[in-house]
Amino acid sequence: GQSLEQPSEVTAVEGAIVQINCTYQTSGFYGLSWYQQHDGGAPTFLSYNALDGLEETGRFSSFLSRSDSYGYLLLQELQMKDSASYFCAASGNTPLVFGKGTRLSVIA
């Protein structure tokens, strides 16, 4: 089967850095994606890692270690608008499988 584990909730201060971890068990693993979803909104794509290492896109970075079946999303210079749910999702032999999500609360 396929499963992904990520923390259910994270709270961080505006302007700080937060890391959201994700571990996965996926057959025929191809890559790890990250999505952001605001309450009542659609999930929106943030990043995708197919190779080991760090990918940077503005304030957001994503990391993958295939040998450890582990990845993380790093959010820098947190803003109030970053308060949302973040999902890791694994692509493999089956269509994209999502984790249960991490609810990030950014406080002043």
Partner 1 sequence: EAGVAQSPRYKIIEKRQSVAFWCNPISGHATLYWYQQILGQGPKLLIQFQNNGVVDDSQLPKDRFSAERLKGVDSTLKIQPAKLEDSAVYLCASSLWSGVTTGELFFGEGSRLTVL
Point out which residues bind partner 1 (CB under 8 A).
Answer: 4, 30-33, 41-45, 48, 50, 87, 89, 91-92, 94-101
Residue 73 has phi, psi (to 5 degrees) of -110, 130
Which of residues 16 and 99 has its CB atom nearest to partner 1 in the complex?
A: 99
Min dist CB 67 to partner 1, Å, is 19
Give the containing element (helix H, strand E) for 49: strand 44-49
Which of residues 11 and 94 has its CB atom nearest to partner 1 in the complex?
A: 94
Characterize 72-83 residue by residue with b for buried, 16 or more Cβ atoms within 10 angstroms of its Cβ, and e for exposed: bbebeebeeebb
Which of residues 42 and 108 has its CB atom nearest to partner 1 in the complex?
A: 42
Are the beta carbons of 35 and 44 closer than 8 angstroms? yes
d(CA 23, CA 70): 4
Which of residues 44 and 79 has its CB atom nearest to partner 1 in the complex?
A: 44
Min dist CB 17 to partner 1, Å, is 24
